[in-house]
Amino acid sequence: MKFVLILSLIALFLCSHLSLSFSIDPIEPSNLLPRPLILQYTSSIEEPSDSTLTQLRCDSWRFAVEANNLAPWRVVPTECGPYVRDYVTGLPYKFDLEMVARESLNHARTVEIKGDGMDAWIFDIDETLLSNLPYYTSHGYGLELFNAHEFDIWVEKAIAPAIESSLILYEEVRALGFKIFLLTGRSEGHNNVTIENLKRAGFLHWDKLILRGPNDKGKTATTYKSEKRREIEEEGYRIHGNSGDQWSDLLGYSVSSRSFKLPNPMYFIP
C-alpha cells in the first residue's frame, strides 16, 4: 500500500505540477492491475491538421534517413516531395550543412598533426563538396527515380557549384596540414570532368582523387569505399576525418576516427 501511495503521489505531482502533455498510466503497479505502465500522449494534444501530419511524417522520415534507420530507399515518399524541395532550397539545409562543417572543423583542430605528412582527411564529392541541386531541381528533388544517363549528362557539364560551407571547411582542413583524399563513387571515365568541375568550384588542391575503376564495378559504395580506405591506411595514413552525405561513405571497415554525415534527403546510395 505504501508503494501505491508513493506512486500515486508521484503521478499526482507530475500531472498537476508540471502540466505534462503525457501521463503515466496506470498509477498502480501491474501486480494489482493488469494494464502495463505505458508512456501515453493524452488527448489534450489537439488533433493535428492534414498539413501538420504531413510535416510530422516527413520530419520523421528525414530523421530516419539521417539516422540510417531506413532500408535502401529508391525515391522520396510522394507526400514528402514539397517538404524535401522546401528543405534543400531553404535555410534548414544551409544551417545543417554549416553545423556539420563547424563540427568537422572543431574536430580537425583537435588533431595533433604529426608533421610526417600522414594525417589524412577524406571527402566524398557529390552532395559533400559539390552540389547537384541544380540537377535535382529539374528532377523532382528525389521524387523521380534516379536516371544514370541523364545524371551523367549533367556531370559532364562540370558545372556543379561548391557547397559553400564545405569549401571553407576544405580550405581550413588543408591549411591545418591534412592530406586530402577525394573518394568518389564517380567512375574513372569522369576523371577529367570531375577535376574540371572541382577547380571551377574553387577546390584547387588535393593529394589524391580516387574514382571507381573497372575492378570496382558492381560493388556497393560501402565495400568500394572501405577497400579504398584500407588501402589508404595500408600506405601508412592516419584517417582522422571522413565527410560524406551517404552512410555508405562512412561505414564498413577502416572507418575514420570521426565521421561526418552531411544531410541528403534526395537520394540513397547503398
Q: Which of 108, 169, 182, 201 binds its own copies (CB under 8 A)?
A: 201
Q: Which of 121, 261, 266, 269 binds its own copies (CB under 8 A)?
A: 261
Q: Which of 54, 66, 81, 146 binds its own copies (CB under 8 A)?
A: 66
72: helix, coil or strand? coil
| Site size with its own copies, rule: CB under 8 A | 69
Q: Are 270 and 222 in contact (CB under 8 A)?
A: yes
Task: Tell which residue, 193, 186, 165, has the closest CA to residue 101.
Answer: 165
The nearest distance, CB 36 to its own copies, in angstroms, is 3
The rounded distance, in Å, linking the Cα atoms of 198 and 172 is: 17
DSSP assigned state of 126: B
Close Cβ partners of 76 (under 8 Å, ≥ 6 residues apart)? 84, 140, 141, 142, 143, 265, 266
Of the two residues 216 and 267, which places its CB atom closer to its own copies in the complex? Answer: 267
Q: Which of 76, 84, 100, 169 binds its own copies (CB under 8 A)?
A: 100
DSSP assigned state of 257: S
Cα(first)–Cα(last) distance of the chain, in Å?
56
Map the footprint of its own copies across residues 133-172, applying CB under 8 A.
Answer: 133-134, 137-138, 157, 159-164, 167
Spell out, one character per residue from 5 to 44, where the chain touches its own copies: x when CB under 8 A holds, - when not. -xx--x---x---x-xxx-xx---xxx----xxxxxx---
The rounded distance, in Å, linking the Cα atoms of 101 and 108 is: 10
Of the two residues 46 and 116, which places its CB atom closer to its own copies in the complex? Answer: 46
Q: Which of 4, 56, 145, 153 binds its own copies (CB under 8 A)?
A: 56
Instruction: Name the one residue in this structure whose C-alpha cell is 539521417.
Output: 66
The rounded distance, in Å, linking the Cα atoms of 170 and 178 is: 10
Question: Residue numbers of the site for its own copies (CB under 8 A)?
Answer: 6-7, 10, 14, 18, 20-22, 24-25, 29-31, 36-41, 45, 48, 56-57, 59-61, 63-64, 66-71, 89-92, 94-96, 98-100, 103, 106-107, 131, 133-134, 137-138, 157, 159-164, 167, 199-202, 258-261, 263
